[in-house]
Amino acid sequence: MIEVSRLTKRYGDKTAVDDLSFTVEPGMVTGFLGPNGAGKSTTMRMIVGLDVPTSGSATVNGRPYAAHRAPLREVGTLLEARAVHTSRSASNHLLALAATHGISKSRVAEVIELVGLRDVAGKRAGGFSLGMGQRLGIASALLGDPATVMLDEPVNGLDPEGIRWVRDLLRGLAAEGRTVFVSSHLMSEMAVTADHLIVVGRGKLLADMSMSEFIDANSSATVRLRTPRAAELRDLLAGDGVTVTGQAADTLEVTGLGAAEIGERALRAGIALHELTPAQASLEEAFMAMTGDSVEYHGATTHEIPATERGAA
Amino acid sequence: MTATTLTPEPVVRAPLTVRGDGPTQARAVVSEFVKMRSLRSTSLTMLAAVLGMAGLGLLISAITNNNFDRMPPDEIAHFDAIGRSLGGVNIAQLAIGVLGVLLVTGEYGTGMIRSTFAAIPTRLPVLWAKAGLYAVSTFVIMLPSAFVAFLGGQRLLGVHGTTLSAPNALRAVFGTALYLMVIGVLAVAIGFIVRRTAGGIAALFGLLLVLPGIGNLLPVSWQTSVLPYLPSNAGGALYTIQPDPGTLAPWTGFAVLCVWAAVGIVAAAVVLKRRDV
């Protein structure tokens, strides 16, 4: 379990993480979402003690990371920027990390096998593709068989097969009861991986809720309907807070009214419906709607932006 | 890279109850040893240090013997056979200094340092391990190199050579290895303080080579109170047979060099605890 409490990080007058509080529970995949520069990586670095918070605190399994007797066995971390010496082979990198905790060579071989790097384990990590580098980072994270796994942008640079593998891996780790905390700026990836979402924008917490709650809270559901008397029905439904748009001559998309209410009104007017489909907005749309605000907010309050750019924004 | 190479195995189910010990100072040393050994730059730079110390010493001795009669009478009168054979120390310290800085800044430059400190979040054991391991490695490798330079050098000097039983000969040979060892520690400390390769190497050799040169421009009264205490001058007293006037006594000078290294290590420890990685 990861607990973050009123965490704040300031660099000079720039606030990278702003009074952030959340809890990451075991047994599920928690997605940590936000646009680039939202403070995700900084937050993760503070959780493992690489960066010291300006104020607030972060604990893992009840203690600060550095206070654990065997940190790598508590939390396995993949940090976004590569954290590997480019001139060292993958297996020597892992052996050096393993040596700090007395982890056996057989465990090193096991994680190399697990991430599929066996054939290149003796090669310089500097020659690795981005995807292979990510696999090596994941191998490092799993080395101590930790109860908590924290991965920063793990699918970055992976091919579709690799993305699918990470997804299965994360779900598997969560199913084993581990705490899985994974950051991404890709909503589409989180939609199929995460059970719970923590959304940040400009260092502030924007949402902390389950995936389905997130979608409900951040989108107005659209209802698609088909009827031969589309024009008549459009007049009947239009009103305060209701938007009706027509795609084709016999198709309408209604926002602001539930499917049940639409059906009732059509029945009272004697209009036949050939289709009545509630369609949820995609996660991507919900994400854009939410973080779009935080980006605008930033633009309006940042004084460094020249007047011409501000006018354009 | 073919796709089959990267085909992952299914997730290995591991029990969550597996718990073991964490980092200790000894484990930090083992980890640093694995790291040091697994970089080609380590062995290449160490080889350069050995060649500088032993190879250059032998070369200088051979050339000296061939040209002995053509040397100015003044130089012949003050001929220092011991110092001549150990002349490679100046080249060896370049290699030892560069490698000491690189062992640290190489980690900062590549991002490896984040993995290192994620594994050992208390950080200081990493500093002790790197400095201690590098000190021991340097001494263990440079002592035989200094012996080769001395014994081989004396033989190549022929009739102009001396023996290990000559006054101060043993002190000079051991002193060469001890000097390089402490320079190595100073280099590691500067690496942690500066964190960048170019800046770290510049800072180290600014301290060792440039500062004494600038010191010579000071008023003479200042020179005598400053120059002997600079790290390379102070430490050099230990392996120098015919010191310049004003040079510290051999072991006093070495103690002063050790103080420089200790101050460097303490400064490195302070910034290491305070700064973000």
- Sorting pLDDT into bands at 50, 70 and 90, what band is A302? very low
Partner A contacted by B162 (CB < 8 A): no
**C-alpha B166: how far from chain center:** 27
Helix locations, A5-155, DSSP H: 40-47, 71-74, 90-100, 105-114, 130-142
Q: B250-274 and B169-194 are packed helices; what angle lies between their axes, rounded to 10 degrees?
A: 20
Q: Which of residues 20-49 of B touch A (CB under 8 A)?
A: 20-23, 27-28, 30-35, 38-41
- Sorting pLDDT into bands at 50, 70 and 90, what band is A254? confident
pLDDT at A309 over 50: no
Q: Which two tokens stand for residue A228?
A: 């031969």
- Cα–Cα dist A276/A267, whole Å: 13
pLDDT at A80 over 80: no
Using a CB-CB cut-off of 8 Å, the residues of chain B touching A89 are: 38
Better-predicted residue by pLDDT, A219 or B154: B154
pLDDT at A17 over 70: yes
Contact (CB, 8 A) for A22 and A56: no
Mean per-residue pLDDT for B130-139? Answer: 98
The predicted structure's pLDDT at residue A218:
66
Better-predicted residue by pLDDT, B192 or A261: B192
Q: Measuring CA to CA, which residue among A238, A241, A270 is closest to residue A252?
A: A238
Helix (H, G, I), strand (E, B) or coil at A215: helix
Partner B contacted by A202 (CB < 8 A): no
The predicted structure's pLDDT at residue A300:
45
The predicted structure's pLDDT at residue A208:
94
- Sorting pLDDT into bands at 50, 70 and 90, what band is A295? low
Cβ of A50 and B18 within 8 Å? no
Mean per-residue pLDDT for A146-169? Answer: 92
Partner A contacted by B12 (CB < 8 A): yes
Percent of chain B with pLDDT over 90: 82
Using a CB-CB cut-off of 8 Å, the residues of chain B touching A69 are: 21-22
Q: Which of residues 104-133 of A touch B (CB under 8 A)?
A: 110, 113-117, 119-120, 129, 131-132
Partner A contacted by B167 (CB < 8 A): no
Using a CB-CB cut-off of 8 Å, the residues of chain B touching A73 are: 18-20, 22
Top mean-pLDDT range of A182-191, A209-218, B140-149: B140-149
Mean pLDDT score across all residues of chain A: 87
Task: Name which of A74, A85, A180 to mutate to probe chain B: the one with the most chain B Cβ atoms within 10 A of its Cβ.
Answer: A85
Helix locations, chain B, DSSP H: 25-37, 40-50, 56-66, 73-77, 81-85, 89-110, 112-119, 124-157, 169-194, 197-205, 211-215, 220-226, 231-236, 250-274
- Sorting pLDDT into bands at 50, 70 and 90, what band is A31? very high
- Cα–Cα dist A32/B100, whole Å: 40
Percent of chain A with pLDDT over 90: 61
Q: Which two tokens stand for residue B150?
A: 């001395």
- Cα–Cα dist A8/A58, whole Å: 10
Helix locations, A103-184, DSSP H: 105-114, 130-142, 160-175
Contact (CB, 8 A) for B85 and B154: yes
Q: Which of residues 5-64 of A touch B (CB under 8 A)?
A: 45, 48-52
- Long-range contact set of residues A216-219: C-beta below 8 Å, sequence gap at least 24: A217/A286, A218/A281, A218/A286, A218/A287, A218/A289, A218/A290, A219/A280, A219/A281, A219/A285, A219/A286, A219/A289
Query: What ipTM was assigned to the predicted interfaces of this complex?
Result: 0.89
For A129, the enclosing helix (H) or strand (E) is none
Mean pLDDT score across all residues of chain B: 92
Contact (CB, 8 A) for A23 and A190: no
Mean per-residue pLDDT for B77-89? Answer: 94
pLDDT at B224 over 90: no
- Cα–Cα dist A25/A32, whole Å: 13
Q: Which two tokens stand for residue B163?
A: 């023996």
